[in-house]
């Protein structure tokens, strides 16, 4: 037999892209809600984190549905980070919807419709439904990769119970999740037929061997009896918006896939509210008020604010968290000035959390965390230089420099980012202050300068 | 009795009939929102298809659940083709009635006849097909008996095996036979619309 070496095909799991707040895993509080200086990716901002923790506990108890919180502070002081931290610590079961203030301005939908949809996306309904599941012991799992190395994989899975055996054809997605769960012959698994969710129940007793090496958490279970496919009641969470879409007759449930849901009639919403309340009274469903986060809330205009005033009074309303970096400014859509660009009557309903600028020590910590997140090694001096840059320009600019400096360092085949790398990217990329300076110096040589004399109004 | 209550439900449902492709197609809409479709052969009056549909709990349109006849393969490869489905070599279970008995066919069962054990379980109200080589197992109830709340009778049950197909039949009890005849008479009285697309009033 010819022994040609087959190149090992590695399955590449989904690599998560590194987002600006990917390092945040929670609010970093202890059980007494006291903030730790550095924890779960959060640094400093002790007072505001503690305040957010109190809010979080109230959300968990279901107490402040229909109330609103405003996180206010200068740019780059961790407003979005705190909101993300709240989302992370709420867990996946509580609906969390995030949007930016300008997202609601669309030609296809009115502003208030977009806001109501966002509101209803943030309210979950936990409901029991019957689904079909497959439960059995894996006899054989066979996955064939095409010889060329590209194209769709095909697979077969043989499952059995004590009474019967069935062969299943596997699709691509299924193969992926089977290999992710590391399912092998002898495992007892269940597959939700509708969603394709796989859960491992344990190893079959018949496969137990004396000298098998296995983890302490491996459980042995009996091979299931009877038929492979069963109907079972499962609990799942849907948002009110999803129920709206399914029931809005003109669109049908296909609208969920195309994403184009259009406007939903208020009668439909009222009917659904009534239905859901009925379910709740009968104990068939449970309502979970989630969190709606509106970033850059000063971008909303007067109409939206008055809509919010009313929407917050409805009994089916989520917790609203808003963030803004504006001081006293014009309310959009009016000529009035107001703190944070929000009318006073709405401000009156809000709990306001303020964030303050980071100290040098905190900046240093954050840069360190980001370096770990982006997998860049920083020498001690480079770290100090970067912290200085962060203090003098902005934290965001310093964070931008991490990955660029990392690249420069890799190009010269270094393993650790040195001061020279930082200097190089510092000279390559301008920060906001230097860029403005440059503009002032060379204003005359830019295009269209000859007709325009006054500086542009950028508000 | 229970037979009456089911025939009463049938009578109170809104019905639309349609003659098409040599079949009499009837659509029923029940008061609880369930829908049922039946198709009869025009010449032999045999039931070819009976299927049910119900709104899902949160309001979406459910899938058709086939009770009698074959499940139609969907014309477009469905969305979940990337998921999991039975291999085509697996046994296929369908129900196809005759005038005098309920009948089920299980195709793709290439085992000798003495492997199969078919039994009625009156206490659990179901019929169980077992195989001694542990390759196939099926537990099913007869919806017609359930609806009329008639007892299961082991002596009415029989099975044969030929051409890789297991055929299980169960003699229809008297009550069912009379009910079906009455229903058929009733259906023939329904004014049926002819060929082509029709507005289904009950849908």
What is the H or E stretch that residue A381 is in?
A: helix A380-392
CA distance A130 to A124: 18
Select from A164, A194, A246 the Cβ nearest to the Cβ of B58.
A246
Report the alpha-carbon distance of residue A386 to residue A397 in Å, rounded.
10
State the pairing for strand pair B23-29/B35-41. Answer: antiparallel
Whether A189 and chain B come into contact, CB under 8 Å, resolves to no
On whether the CB atoms of residues A405 and A421 are closer than 8 A, the answer is yes
Query: Where in A262-400 does DSSP place strands (E)?
Result: 285-289, 291-295, 319-324, 328-330, 337-339, 350-354
Residue pair B203/B53 in contact (Cβ under 8 Å)? The answer is no
Angle between helices A111-121 and A302-311 (to 10 degrees): 40
Residues A165, B169: Cα–Cα separation, whole Å? 24
Q: Of residues B78 and B66, which shows the higher confidence score?
A: B66
pTM over 0.80: no
CB atoms A127 and B57 under 8 Å: yes
Measure B38 CA to nearest chain A CA, in Å. 25
Q: How many helices (H) and strands (E) does chain A have?
A: 14, 17
Residue spans in chain B of domains classed CATH 2.60.40.790: 92-172
**CB nearest to A253's CB, from B61, B89, B135:** B61
Contact A170 B84 (CB under 8 A): yes
How far apart, in whole angstroms, are the C-alpha atoms of residue A23 and residue A39? 11
A225 vs B: CB within 8 A: no
Residue with tokens 């945040």: A24
Residue of B nearest to A229 (CA): B138
Nearest to A43 by CA among A388, A356, A379, A397: A356
Q: What is the CA radius of gyration of chain A?
A: 28
Q: Which residues contact A450 (CB under 8 A, 6 or more apart)?
A: none
Task: Give Cβ neighbours of residue A129 (< 8 Å, ≥ 6 apart).
Answer: A233, A234, A236, B56, B57, B58
Instruction: Name beta bridge partners: A417.
Output: A378
Chain B interface includes A412 (CB < 8 A): no
Angle at A48 between CA A43 and CA A50, to 5 degrees: 85
Could you tell me if A147 and A338 are in contact, meaning their C-beta atoms sit under 8 angstroms apart? no
For the domain spanning B92-172, the CATH number is: 2.60.40.790
**Cα–Cα distance measured from residue B162 to residue A49, given in angstroms and rounded to the nearest whole number:** 74
A160 touches B: beta carbon within 8 Å? yes
Structure token pair of residue B135:
């390759």
* Whole-number pLDDT of residue B167: 92
CB B113 within 8 A of CB B132: no
Separation of alpha carbons A384 and A379, rounded Å: 9
**Would the CB atoms of A253 and B135 count as touching at under 8 Å?**
no
- Is residue A191 within 8 angstroms of chain B, CB to CB? yes
Q: Across the interface, do B87 and A238 touch by the CB < 8 Å criterion?
A: no
Nearest CA in chain A to B81: A171
Query: What pLDDT score was predicted for residue A456?
Result: 52
| Chain B residues touching residue A161 (CB < 8 angstroms) | 137
Distance from CA of B136 to the nearest CA of A (A): 4
Q: Which residues of B touch A (CB under 8 A)?
A: 56-61, 80-87, 89-90, 130-131, 134-139
With contact defined as beta carbons under 8 Å apart, do A336 and A301 qualify? no
pLDDT tens digits, residue range B17-52?
888 888 888 888 888 878 888 888 888 888 888 988
Helix (H) / strand (E) containing A43 = strand A42-43
Is residue A368 classed as helix, strand or coil in its secondary structure? helix
Neighbours of B133 (CB within 10 A): 11
- Helix locations, A61-130, DSSP H: 79-90, 111-121
Q: Which residues of A touch B89 (CB under 8 A)?
A: 167
* pLDDT reading at B82 higher than 50: yes
End-to-end alpha-carbon separation of chain B, Å?
A: 30
* Residue A138, pLDDT score: 92
Q: In chain B, which residues have their Cβ closer than 8 Å to the Cβ of A171?
A: 80-85
The number of residues making up chain A comes to 459
Q: Which residues lie closer than 8 Å to B98 by C-beta, 6 or more apart?
A: B46, B169
Angle at A144 between CA A140 and CA A146, to 5 degrees: 175
Find the closest chain B residue to A268 by CA distance.
B59
How many angstroms separate the CA atoms of B157 and B53, rounded? 29
Please report, in tens digits, the pLDDT of each residue of chain A (459 residues total).
444 444 444 444 334 456 677 788 888 888 888 888 888 888 888 888 888 888 888 877 766 666 788 999 888 888 888 888 888 888 777 888 888 888 888 887 888 888 888 988 888 888 887 788 889 999 998 888 777 767 777 888 999 998 888 998 888 888 888 888 888 888 899 888 877 788 888 888 887 776 666 666 678 888 888 888 888 887 888 888 888 887 775 544 554 555 555 678 888 888 888 888 888 888 888 888 888 999 889 889 898 999 888 888 877 788 889 999 888 889 988 898 999 989 998 888 888 988 888 888 888 888 888 888 888 888 889 999 989 888 888 888 888 888 888 888 888 888 888 888 888 888 889 888 888 888 888 887 777 766 555 555 555
What does the longest C-alpha to C-alpha distance in chain A come to?
Answer: 88
**Looking at the partner chain, which of B60, B81, B84 has a beta carbon nearest the beta carbon of A246?**
B60
Interval B9-23 mean pLDDT: 84
Q: Quote the pLDDT of residue A357.
A: 87
- pLDDT at position A13 is 39
B138: left (phi over 0), alpha (psi -120 to 50) or beta: beta
The ipTM of this complex is 0.79
- CA quadruple A142, A147, A148, A154: dihedral positive or negative? negative
Tell me whether A254 touches chain B (CB under 8 Å).
no
As a whole-number percent, the residues of chain B with pLDDT over 90 amount to 5
**pLDDT of B110 higher than 70:** yes
- A-chain residues within 8 Å CB-CB of B54? none
- Rounded (5°) CA angle A288-A291-A293: 165
Q: Which residue of B has its CA nearest to A167?
A: B87
* CB spacing of A227 vs B90 below 8 angstroms: no
Please give the C-alpha separations between residue B151 and each of A33, B120, B125, B143, in angstroms, as whole numbers: 64, 11, 8, 12
Chain B residues in contact with A165 by the CB 8 A cut-off are 134-136
């Amino acid at each position: 037999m010819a022994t040609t070496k087959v190149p090992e095909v590695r399955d590449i799991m989904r690599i998560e892209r590194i987002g600006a707040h990917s390092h945040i895993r929670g609010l970093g509080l202890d059980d007494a809600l006291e903030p730790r200086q550095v924890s779960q990716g959060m640094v400093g901002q002790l007072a505001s984190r503690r305040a957010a923790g109190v809010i979080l506990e109230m959300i968990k108890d279901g107490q402040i549905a229909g109330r609103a919180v405003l996180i206010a502070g200068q740019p780059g002081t961790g407003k979005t980070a705190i909101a993300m931290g709240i989302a992370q610590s709420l867990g996946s079961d509580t609906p969390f919807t995030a949007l930016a203030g300008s997202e609601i301005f669309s030609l296809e939908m009115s502003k208030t419709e977009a806001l109501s949809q966002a509101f209803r996306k943030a309210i979950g309904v936990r409901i029991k439904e019957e689904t079909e599941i497959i439960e059995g012991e894996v006899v054989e799992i066979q996955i064939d990769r095409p010889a060329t190395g590209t194209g769709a994989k095909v697979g077969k899975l043989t499952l059995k119970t004590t009474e019967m055996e069935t062969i299943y054809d596997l699709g691509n997605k299924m193969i992926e999740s089977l290999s992710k769960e590391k399912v092998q012959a002898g495992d007892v698994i269940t597959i939700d037929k509708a969603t394709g969710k796989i859960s491992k129940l344990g190893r079959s007793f018949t496969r137990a061997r004396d000298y098998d090496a296995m983890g302490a958490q491996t459980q042995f279970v009996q091979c299931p009896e009877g038929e492979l496919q069963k109907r079972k009641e499962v609990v799942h969470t849907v948002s009110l918006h999803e129920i709206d879409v399914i029931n809005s007759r003109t669109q049908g449930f296909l609208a969920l896939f195309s994403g184009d849901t259009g406007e939903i009639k208020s009668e439909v919403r009222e009917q659904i509210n009534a239905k859901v309340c009925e379910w709740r009274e009968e104990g068939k469903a449970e309502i979970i008020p989630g969190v709606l986060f509106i970033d850059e809330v000063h971008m909303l205009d007067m109409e939206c604010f008055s809509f919010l005033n009313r929407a917050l009074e409805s009994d089916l309303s989520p917790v609203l968290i808003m963030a803004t970096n504006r001081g006293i400014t014009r309310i959009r859509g009016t000529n009035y000035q107001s703190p944070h660009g929000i009318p006073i009557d709405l401000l009156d309903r809000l709990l306001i959390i303020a964030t303050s600028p980071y100290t040098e020590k905190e900046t240093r910590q954050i840069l360190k965390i980001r370096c770990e997140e982006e997998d860049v090694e920083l020498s001690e001096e480079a770290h100090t230089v970067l912290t200085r840059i962060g203090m003098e320009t902005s934290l965001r600019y310093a964070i931008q420099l991490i990955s660029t400096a990392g690249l420069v360092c890799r190009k010269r085949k270094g393993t650790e980012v040195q001061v020279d790398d930082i200097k190089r990217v510092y000279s390559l990329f301008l920060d906001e202050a230097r860029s403005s300076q440059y503009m002032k110096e060379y204003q005359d040589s830019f295009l269209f300068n000859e007709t325009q004399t006054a500086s542009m109004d950028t508000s | 009795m229970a037979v009456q209550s089911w025939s009463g439900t049938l009578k109170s449902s809104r019905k639309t009939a349609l003659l098409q492709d040599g079949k009499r197609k009837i659509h029923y809409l029940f008061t609880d929102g369930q829908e049922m479709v039946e198709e009869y052969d025009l010449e032999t009056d045999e039931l070819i298809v009976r299927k049910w549909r119900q709104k899902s709990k949160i309001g979406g349109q459910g899938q058709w659940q086939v009770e009698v006849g074959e499940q139609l393969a969907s014309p477009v490869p469905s969305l979940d083709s990337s998921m999991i489905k039975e291999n085509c070599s697996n046994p296929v279970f369908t129900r196809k009635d005759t005038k005098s008995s309920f009948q089920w066919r299980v195709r793709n069962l290439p085992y000798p006849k003495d492997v199969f054990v078919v039994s009625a379980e009156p206490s659990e109200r179901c019929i169980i097909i077992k195989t001694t080589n542990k390759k196939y197992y099926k537990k099913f109830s007869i919806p017609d008996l359930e609806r009329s709340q008639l007892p299961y009778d082991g002596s009415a049950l029989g099975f044969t095996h030929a051409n890789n197909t297991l055929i299980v039949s169960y003699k229809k009890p008297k009550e069912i036979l009379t009910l079906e005849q009455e229903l058929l008479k009733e259906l023939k009285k329904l004014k049926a619309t002819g060929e082509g697309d029709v507005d289904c009033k009950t849908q």
